Structure 1
Amino acid sequence: MQKQQTLQEGDKLPNLEVSEGEPGSKFYIGEVFAKGKGVLFAVPGAFTPGCDKKHLPGYVENYSKFIEKGITTIACLSVNDAFVMDAWGKHQGADGKIRMFADADGEFTKAIDMQLDLTNVLGNVRSKRYAMYIQDGVVKKLLVESDGTGLSCSLAVELLKHI
């Protein structure tokens, strides 16, 4: 297990396992963003109101604007299982645009110190809401919602201003 450290701009993205599509499809997130320009944003929970109505849809709607800026990978991450993330992506029309990463055990989220205790609301510890622009494996811009759940600085239109 990687040591917990608050991720900051200028840091290299940790290379920990997440999955996509189904639980057995594990890969290293750092390798996905090792070369080129990428965007990673996290949500507290799939199908939850703010995430489902505003956060993910904004990235789907602005997909072409990210591509125009040279972004090659856009991924959404949640402390959830791969089946739920896959179904949510299909529900939102994210297929072929936004990769849906499951941090099922929360290891990546904990390693970058972005965990948010939502046991009373969602049943377990989840991820804070954030968005980051990554270039060649290094975090160039990191936007974290001040309360961990808000919908202001981590939206697609806000991150686009920093790329």
Structure 2
Amino acid sequence: MNVTKFSTGVVRKSVSLIVKRNLQKSAAAMVKVGDSLPSVDLFEDLPTNKVNLAELSKNKKIIVFAVPGAFTPGCSKTHLPGYVEKADQLKSSGIAEIVCVSVNDPFVMGAWAKDQKTSGKIRMLADPQAQLAKALDLTVEIAPLGGVRSKRYSIVAENGVIKSLQVEPDGTGLSCSLADKIVV
């Protein structure tokens, strides 16, 4: 299609719509320290076991960390095991709950919890439609894992307010969001 076939008004209107869409996209800025955790339903073990993140964080201090995918190498060999190993230490320093979130279904998260022996240490919550990742503006497109996933990050929240946020610079790396880097 040749732009010269359009009248000037049509071209201006199209450009204006594109600019508006881009401004709307950029208006949803990434979550930051001081923001509240969103009221998003996640799922534990079954699609019927809803866990609202805002409710879970009321009147307590929690850690939420996200991984791009359950059973993936970095997540299964480094990220989640680090939190499992440090869970008792973190909880003794005032953390009431440690939550691992991934854009997977609740059955996968349940199976991964058993595989990684997280019982009593880490709550494994599924974000099957990436609603939490989208609400935080922490999504990343990873085609081989099925498309939209969560960036890798860690959050310390107290009474629903984010006190600390560490987002991996490339969204998937293993540096600042690890258990040994968390500051409670």
Three-state SS of the structure 2 residue aligned to 1:14 is: coil
Alignment check: 8 A CA contact 2:43 2:106 kept: yes
Asked if 1:48 is matched to 2:72, the reply is yes
User: Which residue matches 1:137?
Assistant: 160
User: Which residue matches 1:114?
Assistant: 138
1:71 to 70, 86, 95: 95
Instruction: Considering fraction of residues, name the structure with more helix.
Output: 2
Q: Could you say if the C-alpha distance between residues 59 and 156 of structure 1 is closer, same or farther in structure 2, counting changes exceeding 3 Å?
A: same
Question: Higher mean Cα deviation, 24-33 or 108-117?
Answer: 24-33
> What is the number of residues matched between the two proteins?
158
Please give the alpha-carbon distance, in whole angstroms, between the structure 2 residues aligned to 1:85 and 1:4.
Answer: 28
Alignment check: 8 A CA contact 2:39 2:55 kept: yes
> Cα distance, 1:4 vs. partner?
4.2
> Cα distance, 1:114 vs. partner?
0.5
Please give the alpha-carbon distance, in whole angstroms, between the structure 2 residues aligned to 1:67 and 1:134.
Answer: 14
Alignment check: 8 A CA contact 1:5 1:111 kept: no
> Cα distance, 1:113 vs. partner?
0.3
> Cα distance, 1:5 vs. partner?
3.9
User: Which residue matches 1:123?
Assistant: 146
User: Which residue matches 2:169?
Assistant: 146
Three-state SS of the structure 1 residue aligned to 2:96 is: strand
Instruction: Work out which structure has the larger RCO, using CA pairs closer than 8 Å and 6 or more positions apart in sequence.
Output: 1
Please give the alpha-carbon distance, in whole angstroms, between the structure 2 residues aligned to 1:98 and 1:113.
Answer: 24
Three-state SS of the structure 1 residue aligned to 2:59 is: coil
Alignment check: 8 A CA contact 2:43 2:127 kept: yes
For residues 95-118 of structure 1, the C-alpha deviation after alignment (integer angstroms, 9 at most, x for no partner) is: 111000100011111011000100
* Structure 2 residues not aligned, in runs of 5+: 1-26
Percent identity at matched positions?
Answer: 49
> Structure 2 length as normaliser, TM-score?
0.83
Three-state SS of the structure 2 residue aligned to 1:22 is: coil
User: Which residue matches 2:109?
Assistant: 85
User: Which residue matches 1:101?
Assistant: 125
Runs (4+) of structure 1 moved beyond 3 Å? none
> Structure 1 length as normaliser, TM-score?
0.94
* Structure 1 residues not aligned, in runs of 5+: none
Structural mapping, 1:4-23, within 5 Å: 4-23=28-47
Taking only aligned residues, the RMSD between alpha carbons, in angstroms, comes to 1.1
Please give the alpha-carbon distance, in whole angstroms, between the structure 2 residues aligned to 1:155 and 1:49.
Answer: 15
Question: Higher mean Cα deviation, 49-58 or 103-112?
Answer: 103-112
- The one-letter amino acid of 1:143's match is Q
- The one-letter amino acid of 1:141's match is S
Three-state SS of the structure 2 residue aligned to 1:15 is: coil
Please give the alpha-carbon distance, in whole angstroms, between the structure 1 residues aligned to 2:104 and 2:171.
Answer: 17
Answer with 1 or 2: which has the greater Rg.
2
